[in-house]
Amino acid sequence: EDQVTQSPEALRLQEGESSSLNCSYTVSGLRGLFWYRQDPGKGPEFLFTLYSAGEEKEKERLKATLTKKESFLHITAPKPEDSATYLCAVRMNTGFQKLVFGTGTRLLVSP
C-alpha cells in the first residue's frame, strides 16, 4: 500500500535550535516529493519539489534532501515565525495525478 509517514508528529524547539523533520515513503515509483508549510486556518504553502535521490533544495533556513526511501526537512537556527505544520506529499509513478500526503509535523519554535 502506498504510504507516506511523517515524524515526529510534533516538535518543540528553542529559537536557534536546529533540527530535522522526516518523511518516509513506500510508493510504487516516485515522480516527485513535495514539502509544504501550513499555518493554522490557511492553505498549504509550497516549499520544495524533489525528484531524485541525492537532490537538495534550500530556502532561507530550510533545506530539503531526498533519498530512495525518505526525505528530510532540515531547519537551521529556527525562529518563532517558522512555527507551522510541515506537510510532505509524494506523487507516484502510477496514477497521473495521485498525490499522497502525510499527516504533517507540527513545529513550535519558542523565543
Binding site for other proteins (CB under 8 A): 4, 32, 34, 36, 41-46, 49, 51, 87, 89, 91, 96-104
Which residue, 43 or 111, has its beta carbon nearer to other proteins? 43
Q: Least distance to other proteins from the beta carbon of 14, Å?
A: 27
Q: Least distance to other proteins from the beta carbon of 15, Å?
A: 28
CA atoms within 13 Å, Cβ hemisphere of 41: 0
Q: Least distance to other proteins from the beta carbon of 2, Å?
A: 10
Which residue, 4 or 13, has its beta carbon nearer to other proteins? 4
Which residue, 18 or 67, has its beta carbon nearer to other proteins? 67
Q: Least distance to other proteins from the beta carbon of 68, Å?
A: 18
State CA 28 to chain mean position distance: 19
Q: How far apart are CA 80 and CA 49, in angstroms?
A: 24
